[in-house]
Structure 1
Amino acid sequence: MRIAIAIDSLAGGGAEKVMITLAKQFIRLGHEPHFLVMEDNRYYDTPENLPVHQCFAPKDKDFDHFGRLKASVNKLRAKITEIESQVGKFDLFLSNLDKTNLMMTKTCVSPLYVIVHSSVEEELSRQLKLGPFAYLKKLSAKKALNGQHLITVSNGIAKEIKDKGRLHPASMQTIYNPFEFDEIGAQSRQENSQIPQGDYLIHVGRFAKQKRHDVLFEALRLTQNQLPVVLLCHNHKKAMKAAKKFGIEKRVIIPGFQSNPFPWIKRARALVLSSDFEGLPTVLIESLACGTPVVSTDCPHGPSEILTGKLAPYLVPRRAPQALAQKIDEVLNQPPSLEQVEILAKVDASLIAEQYVALAK
């Protein structure tokens, strides 16, 4: 099968990483994935046998602006036609992220499935605080999902969409994100001279309001332990400035973006997630796969589907730094056994790729 994966870019976000993992698995299964990226903004490396087609030139700024949307959709449709004339017709289109979804849903390509990576309602709520224009732009992107075939990355997102009734998809099903555990294991054993020699905690995620670094820093201030924390994020200056507000800047280590975060995660005493909302937080599953225990806010959506059974006690209410601090101390004093973690059996990359391939049959 020839599969088109449309996405904003290959910048260092979770959705981009998930799609690269999925594409690599498609190749292993004998299929031919292609990336259709809206703009050239690349952090992640891609295999040489994975074609990446840039759909808009650098001069095409604000291609998703309301006034330019019709022209942008026409340009994208023409680009897809051009690619298909060179490589053959696509058997399946997978669309990701708001900018891309807004245009792909108007191109009339088929069969098209839109992957919902995060909470619709939480994202809208966040944009509302930024003002009416930001909210209406986000709402327009979400409304584009009406009448579409949706894939949600967690059951929680699907339940939210169904219960809220804001969106009316043509169909909806959950397919978890894929994970290549052999590759994660191999990468986690690689040497990296930047990694601290002593014990440390780790937080992985871009410096954004959704990730609630303020909650993380307040929790660290309240912990009995005084371990340093490694932040794998992009914006060093903003992160350090925020850490200073809580008086923990001397405990913060920010090495910058890491194309291979797994050695950092494997050698950490514990990974902490402090987010307000997620889709299916990849980093929690990666940490468990590396044998590193986690503490997470019980945010919508995903953590409660990952931390089940014996790991459920390591969920804490969101926006509760004191509770987060207590669980951090607890996981350090008595780390849980990570043998036979339930979620790991459900997210193997080959299993997930087969579920996507079945969409076109």
Structure 2
Amino acid sequence: MKRIAIAIDSLAGGGAEKIVLTLAAELKRLGHAPHLLVLTPHCEYQLPADIPVHFCFDESQKQSDSIWRVSRSVEEVKRWVSEIEAEYGLFDLFLSNLDKTNLLFTQANLSPLFCIVHNSIEEELKRQLKLGPLAYFNMLRAKKSLNGQHLVTVSKGIEREIIACQRISPQSIRTIYNPFDLKDIRGRADELNQAIPDGDFIIHVGRVAKQKRHDILFAALAKMKHQLPLVLLCSNPKKAMKLAKKYGVADRIICPGFQANPFPWIKKARLLALSSDYEGLPTVLLESLICGTPVVSTDCPHGPNEILTGPLADFLSPRRDVDQLSEKMDAALGDYPNMEDIALFEHIEIEKIAKTYLALI
């Protein structure tokens, strides 16, 4: 039995957070002892009953990674981990997820440590630069903390980017795809949910953030020949509706908010659309295909072109191209290739991925 610490900034309703919970559950099923080490107690996902969850900071300590506080935070993290290990035993492996956790865990010199990179580093930095030099510098600190570390990327695209750009010089780097429990997803997709609307609709799953480019999605929706409604599963419906109004599609938007089980919604949809500027390995694209629902996605860095291969590659749209996205969504609603033979399915199977992580020890 191996003791594995899976660390992350929070358990807010994002893709990385969902992957962390999925991996922890599978490690537990395989007879190991995963622990969730969560920096702040912001939780939208339900906490597992059979896996220990430890929180380091309280809600008031949101700036734990700020430059004037980081040294104190690193000492708190060291003390926190020591207390957990004193009670449960030493960890055989630390898996760190997201910027804040990566910054603090690398500086705390925890070992053996692997940092998991969930997104395009270069695209995140470009976006942050638009917010000003301070925001850019803060993110750059977190990215630079990956120097000399063992890295795991969730797609080949991210791995290639890190090697090519040479902004970071890791000690080692390898790709391990995110884990998916195909049987569980399909089973949960069959659960009844009376809130799901009757009739055909398109679906988008993801937080309302600039990266996700809801403006492009709404503009493409307005141009479509098929005038279907769009269901948005997100945790900020007010923000989404305000933007939808700007693009004249508010009357076609259904916004039920964050859903702990999105799979019945995805399965019932005629199409899932992703309009992002960048990703890592977009969880929702794979979940949709597992549920048998067609997808259209921007060909953004990284992940979509590793998922949509062969005939499905026709449903990749250039980034920020409203006309192409609109046309491809209309085309997907008319005719879509077979989704049973997705090449990536064999590389994301949950037990295989969990055992790959265990082999890092």
Judge same fold: TM > 0.5, yes or no. Answer: yes
Q: Hey, what does 2:225 align to over in structure 1? A: 224
Q: Hey, what does 1:171 align to over in structure 2? A: 172
**d(CA) in 2 for partners of 1:257 and 1:339?**
28
Q: CA deviation at 1:344?
A: 1.1
Matches within 5 A, 1:245-260: 245-260=246-261
- Deviation per residue, 1:79-98 (Å, 9 max, x gap): 10000000000000000111
**d(CA) in 2 for partners of 1:335 and 1:148?**
42
**d(CA) in 2 for partners of 1:36 and 1:258?**
24
TM-score by length of 2: 0.99
TM-score by length of 1: 0.99
**d(CA) in 1 for partners of 2:73 and 2:248?**
47
- Deviation per residue, 1:126-180 (Å, 9 max, x gap): 0100000000000000000000000000000010011101000000000000001
Question: 1:359 aligns to what SS in structure 2?
Answer: coil
- Deviation per residue, 1:236-280 (Å, 9 max, x gap): 111111111111111000000000000000000010000000000
AA of the residue aligned to 2:160? K
- Deviation per residue, 1:324-351 (Å, 9 max, x gap): 0101110111122112111111100001
AA of the residue aligned to 1:157? I
Question: 1:67 aligns to what SS in structure 2?
Answer: coil
Q: Hey, what does 1:91 align to over in structure 2? A: 92
- Deviation per residue, 1:210-258 (Å, 9 max, x gap): 0000000010011000000000011111111111111111100000000
- 2:40–2:62 Cα contact (<8 Å) kept: no
Matches within 5 A, 1:73-152: 73-152=74-153
Q: CA deviation at 1:59?
A: 3.8
- Deviation per residue, 1:82-129 (Å, 9 max, x gap): 000000000000001111111000111110000000000000000100
**d(CA) in 1 for partners of 2:104 and 2:277?**
28
Query: How much identity, in percent, do the aligned residues show?
Result: 58
AA of the residue aligned to 1:329? D
**d(CA) in 2 for partners of 1:289 and 1:86?**
40
- 2:208–2:240 Cα contact (<8 Å) kept: yes
**d(CA) in 2 for partners of 1:336 and 1:272?**
16
Question: 1:151 aligns to what SS in structure 2?
Answer: strand
- 2:151–2:174 Cα contact (<8 Å) kept: yes
Q: Hey, what does 1:337 align to over in structure 2? A: 338
For these two proteins, the number of residue pairs brought into alignment is: 360
AA of the residue aligned to 1:57? D
Quick one: structure 1 residues 306 and 61, their matched pair in 2 at CA, closer, same or farther if it must change by over 3 Å?
A: closer
AA of the residue aligned to 1:65? S
AA of the residue aligned to 1:320? D
Q: CA deviation at 1:56?
A: 1.4
**d(CA) in 2 for partners of 1:259 and 1:71?**
35
